Amino acid sequence: MHTINALKAQFRKLSHAHLPYHWFESLLLFVLNKDKAFLITHDDYLLTADEYDGLESGMAKLCSGVPLAYVIGRQGFFGHEFSVNEHTLIPRPDTEMLVEAALDVAADKGLGQARILDLGTGSGCIALSIAKALPSSTVLAVDYSHRALDVARRNAQDLQVANCQFIQSNWYENIPIQSFDVIASNPPYIARTDEHLAQLGAEPITALVADNHGLSDIEKIIKGSAVYLMPSGVLALEHGYDQGAGVRTLFAKAGFKDVRTVKDYGGNDRITMGICDE
């Protein structure tokens, strides 16, 4: 008898630090297409054969190490739902700070019609969140991966975003020369020797790892940004918890002023920003 109550007990037995109970619960909600209240009020609900088959298949994937977001094909970010797959990173809460940084710059400068570039857009979560919040802005989202861009375009359609365009490019390589008020990026920044990399094996390695202790792509973005930023335009980059000082040094060498690092929700260095010197 595969009732919700019986499944909850099974989930508790299977769950552990790397496979939390709420992943199984979220999978069940996805399979049933119900909200969380349903699990509380319908303990005796008996799953259909198709529902249980879907749950069993998803549980097998979770137990084999596939992240929940890839199993259900979506992830919440900045109040929106984004489609994700193995060709995109899974959006994380700390990256929402990059969106907030871009929106704060636009607000401080009175830029309701800001021009914003998102480098390495992946699922499009950064670019599309900014575009939704600033409907009069123009956002350009760039990624090297055609498959990632397919996901981003689908998310733009689902979220009914019309003010975001997409270009395939290796960083600035295919971007026509134009001036942006803000360049934002969550580039690869994990060193190849980083012990945390083993926990991210399901996600695309090219979107995670960079040479030079994780700083090579960050350095390319900083060096190339001067051509694309407006005078007094802002560059905002996400980076590793231990890279704040190194990234600030790269900003300073490139001539940025008012360079500062914002800490994430865990109190770690996470977003470094600077103003392009006029």
Q: From the annotation, which residues make up the binding site for substrate?
A: 186-189
Nearest to 271 by CA among 183, 152, 173: 183
b/e burial code for range 218-234 (CB count within 10 A of at least 16 → b): bbbbbebbeebbbeebb
Binding-site residues: 120-124, 143, 171, 186-189
Binding-site residues for S-adenosyl-L-methionine: 120-124, 143, 171, 186
Residue 247 φ/ψ, nearest 5 degrees: -70, -40
The token duo for 108 is: 């401080």
Cβ atoms of 35 and 29 within 8 Å: the answer is: yes
Cβ atoms of 110 and 68 within 8 Å: the answer is: no
Q: How far apart are CA 259 and CA 11, in angstroms?
A: 47
Cβ atoms of 153 and 182 within 8 Å: the answer is: no
Cβ atoms of 165 and 139 within 8 Å: the answer is: yes
